[in-house]
Amino acid sequence: MYRQWLIIFSKIAVLYGMVSHNMDNVFTRHTPFQMKVICEELYQYASIRSSNLSGPDKFMFETIAKNLHDSLKIVEKAKTDDVIFGWTPLSEEVYTVIRNDNDEEMVQVENIPLYFIFAKVTPDSRMIIEKIVHNPSIDVDIDPVLMKEHLQILANDSGKKLDVSPLKEDDNGRWYLILSDVINFKRLPNI
């Protein structure tokens, strides 16, 4: 069992080393080939983890595995206007990081994407976020609104308008609520 996990994460480590573009150390860009291998390996990892758990943790890893499997469909249909990012915000501040793969030496934690973002860039200058998938190999207590800020900066710097409307139909609309202006999480009182 340990050997199987080691093989999975050694493949992922090689892919993280092949990152093609780095944008201000917050986003890494991945090719469809890289994402296909990453999604397949992380899907296998999440499936194995869910089989060893119960209750809410099992449900969480099953959901992550399903989202990773669904992401493979996007990757297989990827065209030149599709962009796949890894969100790597850990270089900005100090966070408490839990490595689920238990291998600190394989890849520096700052280089591991916490989430994978599937986007499409349109001729009418929009960056449409189609799907966001959690990386099950790492857990960090980080405010996801920070991702919204980073995506908005990336869209502005690229001369694009950020469009998160497709996320209404993905993952029960969770990411749409976080990234849209439906609820302003920064202005909510601490309860």
Q: What is the pLDDT of residue 184?
A: 59
Which residues, 6+ apart, have CB-to-CB distance to 2 below 8 Å? none
Selection from 21, 32, 25, 27 nearest residue 152 by Cα: 27
**Residue 104's pLDDT band (cuts 50, 70, 90):** low
Structure tokens at 186: 């920064």
Q: Is 52 left (phi over 0), alpha (psi -120 to 50) or beta?
A: alpha
Q: What is the pLDDT of residues 171-189, one digit of tens each?
A: 889 899 888 876 655 555 5
Q: pLDDT above 90 covers what percent of the chain?
A: 51
Pair 155, 162: CB distance under 8 Å: yes
What's the whole-number mean pLDDT along residues 77-103? 76
- Is pLDDT above 50 for 17? no
Q: Which residues in 49-144 belong to E strands, given as ranges?
A: 82-87, 97-99, 115-121, 126-134, 138-140
Q: Is 159 left (phi over 0), alpha (psi -120 to 50) or beta?
A: left
Pair 85, 30: CB distance under 8 Å: yes
- Is pLDDT above 50 for 12? no
Q: What is the pLDDT of residue 15?
A: 41
Q: What is the pLDDT of residue 50?
A: 94
Lowest mean pLDDT among 32-41, 68-77, 78-87, 103-112: 103-112
- Read off φ and ψ for residue 48, nearest 5 degrees: -65, -45
- Which helix H or strand E contains 6, and what residues bound it? helix 2-17
- Is pLDDT above 70 for 101? no
pTM: 0.79
The structural domains of the chain, with segments of one domain joined by +, span 2-179
Q: What is the pLDDT of residue 188?
A: 52
Q: What is the pLDDT of residue 1?
A: 54
Q: What is the pLDDT of residue 99?
A: 64
Q: Residue 130 gets which letter from DSSP?
A: E
Q: What is the pLDDT of residue 92?
A: 56
- Is pLDDT above 80 for 72? yes
Structure tokens at 175: 């990411």
- CA triple 99-100-101, angle to 5 deg: 90
Q: What is the pLDDT of residues 126-170, one digit of tens each?
A: 999 999 999 998 888 888 888 999 999 999 999 999 999 999 998
What's the whole-number mean pLDDT along residues 103-116? 76
- Is pLDDT above 60 for 8? no
Kindly state the greatest CA–CA separation across the chain. 49
